[in-house]
Amino acid sequence: MASSLTKDAAQQGTPANGGKTFLGHPRGLAILFLTEMWERFSFYGMRALLVLYLISGGADAKVGSQGGGLAMTAVSASAIYAVYMALVYLLAMPGGWFGDRVWGPRKTVIVGSCVVIAGHIVLAVPGPTFFAGLAMVACGSGLLKSNISTMVGHLYDGPQDPRRDGGFTVFYMSINIGSMLAPLVIGGIGQAINWHLGFAIAAVGMALGLLVFLLGTRILDPKSSQVPSPLTAQERNGWLRKGLIWAAAAAVFYGIVAGSGHFTLNWALIPLAVIGICVPCFVLLRIKRDKELTSSEQAKVSSYVWFFVAAAVFWMIFDQAGSTLNVFAEKNTADSVFGWAYPSSFLQSVNPMWVLVLAPVFASAWLALARRNREPSTPVKFAMAMVLIGASYVFFLVPIAMSSDGTKVSPMWLITVYGLQTMGELCLSPVGLSVTTKLAPQKYASQMMGVWFLAVTAGDSVISLVSIGGADLSGVGVLVTEAALAVLAGFAVFMYRKKITPLMGDVH
């Protein structure tokens, strides 16, 4: 029996080590699972606190809540939150570039983890360095995200390995375990005791993730240490020169703006949001026009554009869990159940809880349908996701109307909204991660994972501009518009699925 298992494992690309596996997958998945779990613990804990900290002490904070925040309006806080989220995923693209051309995925993950830890430590120290800490966390997360997902792909024997999708689903569970625990620990302590103590605990979480990664690197695939397309000395000097020129230009420009007394936060937020929309368009166009790609790779990139646009609309709505829905939980939702009072940030754990409950159900359903040759194609799954995320905002209109007179609504309303969004997420996110690695041209292996995360950047950047424009994201008009846009995007993907599928070639 043991020799049979070893033979099967070898045939499927599993590392040796006596046939030992992690839930039927290569053992290296356990290391990446735990590293990502702790990184997401630190990230989602800070995410649960961010908007609440920004509005704390201001007119939009709940009466009687902890002070000590930045006393901003909900509109300003939502704009900052959206730009921050956009930056985290925007920086996944240069993070993938560093993995592909400078350090290799493994070393880039280590560097990124150290930067995240340093950023959380800066956030933990009260003072004027708060936004510098945010920037550091965004940079570190960008270095880490695309590379660790690429390393998961390295564990399998090519895109056709039958365990590959399952491996990404298991990896996706690590994200949700970390993001479920984070609001309960970091959010609870930060909101109820001290904001900066919460940020400090986030640093500890990332440090644990880095420790696990360093201890387990020996069982990762050797490809994760390689630099697929290293920079030449001439290219390195060129990039360094360009970087210094752009940095100097930005320093001079903002020095003049600040020196003239005209600087406001929007001088930083608006350019970042515009960059977050323009960069994804530029990157996709550059990859599509690369003459070194084969015709098959070109066709796959063309099919990928459809998934990218749909994902951008999806994340535009979904990522408002930490802003629009978080503020609604703080101000308009009852904060006690059966006499037990809880911080509003606890509700940020609901989505990952739904994932942990529903992911096995969805995985089993896909397998059962596959055995009958009836599993939905990737375009159909994306269409389903768009309809579900649109429906969640239509449903959200009900508790908004109920609380318009100051009534505190039951948390079950938000729990149901999160449930609908989670079902959409399970149709789109793990599927999108997997299809990205499958459709990626070899030349852009890590960078294409960064492109996937740019869909989040594009969606969050649009929302940040809407917020900067002064729109109320919880207003009926905005919610209906977003819901309609999502449903229309889903309908478009479904109607054109027969044109998209042939472009995907051997990827299904």
pLDDT more than 70, % of the chain:
92
Give the tens place of pLDDT for each residue, 442-493: 778 767 777 888 899 999 999 999 999 888 898 899 999 999 999 999 999 8
Residue 474's pLDDT is 87
User: CA-CA distances (angstroms) from residue 76 to 53, 69, 82, 126, 133?
Assistant: 12, 13, 10, 20, 18
3-state secondary structure of 68: coil
Higher pLDDT among residues 14 and 217, named by residue: 217
Q: Average of pLDDT values for 101-106?
A: 91
Higher pLDDT among residues 227 and 16, named by residue: 227
Residue 18's pLDDT is 43
Residue 171's pLDDT is 83
pLDDT tier at 174 (50, 70, 90 boundaries)? confident
Give the tens place of pLDDT for each residue, 42-89: 999 989 999 999 998 776 667 556 667 888 988 899 999 999 999 998
What are the backbone angles phi and psi of residue 236, rounded to the nearest 5°?
-60, -45
What are the backbone angles phi and psi of residue 26, rounded to the nearest 5°?
-55, 145
Helix H or strand E segment including 82: helix 74-90
Helix H or strand E segment including 312: helix 295-318
Q: Measured between alpha carbons, how far is 275 from 96 in angstroms, rounded to an integer?
A: 18
Instruction: Say yes or no to pLDDT of 256 above 70.
Output: yes
3-state secondary structure of 160: coil
Residue 288's pLDDT is 87
> Amino acid identity of 394?
V
Contact 142, 91 (CB under 8 A): yes
Q: How many CB atoms lie within 10 A of CB 471?
A: 17
161-165, 265-269, 382-386, 494-498: least confidently modelled range: 161-165
Rounded to the nearest 10°, the torsion over CA 260, 261, 265, 267 is -20
Instruction: Say yes or no to pLDDT of 164 above 90.
Output: no
Rounded to the nearest 10°, the torsion over CA 9, 216, 432, 45 is 150
DSSP 155: T
For the chain, give the number of residues. 508
Residue 63's pLDDT is 56
**Can you read off the two tokens belonging to residue 66?**
């902890």
Average pLDDT score, the chain: 87
3-state secondary structure of 336: strand
pTM: predicted TM-score of the whole model, two decimal places: 0.86
Instruction: Say yes or no to pLDDT of 114 above 70.
Output: yes
Residue 1's pLDDT is 38
> Amino acid identity of 314?
F
DSSP 377: P
Q: Average of pLDDT values for 250-263?
A: 89
pLDDT more than 90, % of the chain:
48
Residue 429's pLDDT is 87
3-state secondary structure of 1: coil
Q: DSSP of 448-479, one letter per residue?
A: HHHHHHHHHHHHHHHHHHHHHTT--TTSHHHH
Higher pLDDT among residues 424 and 375, named by residue: 424
Q: Average of pLDDT values for 358-384?
A: 88
Instruction: Say yes or no to pLDDT of 418 above 60.
Output: yes
Contact 456, 89 (CB under 8 A): yes
- CA neighbor of 398 nearest in space, from 417, 383, 379, 385: 417
Q: Measured between alpha carbons, how far is 314 from 336 in angstroms, rounded to an integer?
A: 31
Neighbour-count burial of 286, counting CB atoms closer than 10 A to its CB (0-12 exposed, 13-18 middle, 19+ buried): exposed
3-state secondary structure of 76: helix
Give the tens place of pLDDT for each residue, 122-137: 999 988 899 999 999 9
Contact 44, 179 (CB under 8 A): yes
Q: Average of pLDDT values for 284-301?
A: 86
Residue 480's pLDDT is 95
Neighbour-count burial of 427, counting CB atoms closer than 10 A to its CB (0-12 exposed, 13-18 middle, 19+ buried): buried
What are the backbone angles phi and psi of residue 469, rounded to the nearest 5°?
-70, -5
Residue 9's pLDDT is 33
Residue 108's pLDDT is 94
Instruction: Say yes or no to pLDDT of 497 above 50.
Output: yes
Q: Average of pLDDT values for 330-344?
A: 87
Neighbour-count burial of 432, counting CB atoms closer than 10 A to its CB (0-12 exposed, 13-18 middle, 19+ buried): buried
Q: Measured between alpha carbons, how far is 475 from 310 in angstroms, rounded to an integer?
A: 23
Q: Measured between alpha carbons, how far is 71 from 53 in angstroms, rounded to an integer?
A: 8
